[in-house]
Amino acid sequence: MKFVVDKTIPFIENLFEPYAEVVYVEGKDISSDDVRDADGLVIRTRTKCNADLLDGSSVRMISTASIGSDHIDHEYCLEHGIHFATASGCNAVGVMNYVFAALYGIAARKSIDLEGKTLGIVGVGNTGSRVAAMARHIGLKTLLCDPPRAAAEGPDPFCSLERLLNEADVVTLHVPLSDQTRKMADDAFFQAMKPGALFINTARGEVVDEAALKRGIPRLGAVIIDTWNNEPYVDLDLVEKVDIATPHIAGYSYQGKQNGTALAVRAIARFFGIEPLYEFYPETPIAELEAIKLNLKGKPQGEIASVLSYNYPIFTDDFMFRMNPAGFENLRLNYSYRREFYVE
């Protein structure tokens, strides 16, 4: 067997060598020549798996160490008998950590009172559910919008997007990128938001119409953006206009990377029958990287902000990005993974 592996995936080096020939290539540089005689690919979002890459190859399985799969041409894979698997939910806690570190950080910086406020969560899957649980833990009200779940499970506890935008003091996006969600945050979306409301996007950049966002910013209280159109070539004018700007690292926790690699390795191991890797999970070498449990129930806003800032000093990430937005990919590749925090 031959596997082509994105060399930027952490914890993966030397795992497959006892069982297959392994070629390591940076994800954005994986070419049709690299995969022509490969049986499996282990990738991240920078590798576009479509006809240009896969035509004429022997690839039978693609395993991505990411929650999304919009970089994989589903229809092409189905037509050509190529299986694929994602690392769904791997970074849900890390993204939740980002949302609340950013929210309480910018509230402290701009003197925004969050007590009794309503958090509107658009997309209530793995990540959105974690965000909702944290909001409840610290006493924020929530509005949940997830039309696919509402259709499958019934209307309760979900609401319409219109109601969420009209009533929420903070709107945070946690939807996958699809034909239905692409540019969903458009002029009408931002016009429907409450004046002074906060907006957070840690989903895919393309779910936001960035021109519409720039037009909407004067009405909003604060804007926090981690994912961008046209990454890594981001709109520098938008970077200047938003309150927190980071280079698509919301899910870059140590545990999130462990989970993503573990799920990607397990999927391809099970497909090709590599039994010793069926339950693979990377070790945590030092105690300081272990996830930490927090109890923030009943705490005042200032104390919550202090605890969150200590565990994730998000303005460091914002500063490093603003200093060198052209270094988007290098900032991601050389990011120092932070430990996660969680609540019951």
Q: Is there a catalytic annotation at residue 79?
A: no
User: Could you say which of 231, 270, 322, 329 is catalytic?
Assistant: 231
Q: Which helix (H) or strand (E) holds 245?
A: strand 244-245
Is 248 an active-site residue? yes
C-alpha 232/C-alpha 330 separation (Å) is 10
Cβ 184 vs Cβ 210: under 8 Å: no
**Residue 107 contacts residue 114 (beta carbons within 8 Å):** yes
SS (H, E, C) 29-54: HCCHHHHCCCCEEEECCCCCECHHHH
Neighbours of 36 (CB within 10 A): 16
11 phi-psi bin (left φ>0, alpha ψ -120 to 50, beta other): left
CA-based nearest residue to 244, from 309, 315, 307:
315
Q: Distance (Å, rounded) from C-alpha 305 to C-alpha 294?
A: 13
Q: Is the peptide bond before 18 cis (omega within 30 degrees of 0)?
A: no
DSSP 254-273: HHHHHHHHHHHHHHHHHHHT
What DSSP state is assigned to residue 107?
Answer: H
Among 299, 305, 238, smallest CA distance to 102 is for 305
Peptide bond into 285 cis (omega under 30): no
Angle between helices 301-311 and 92-110 (to 10 degrees): 130
Give yes or no: 275 in active site. Answer: no
Residues ≥6 apart with Cβ < 8 Å to 13? 7, 24
Q: Which of 44, 130, 248, 266 is catalytic?
A: 248
**Catalytic residue (one of 44, 46, 204, 339):** 204
Q: Which residues are catalytic?
A: 204, 231, 248
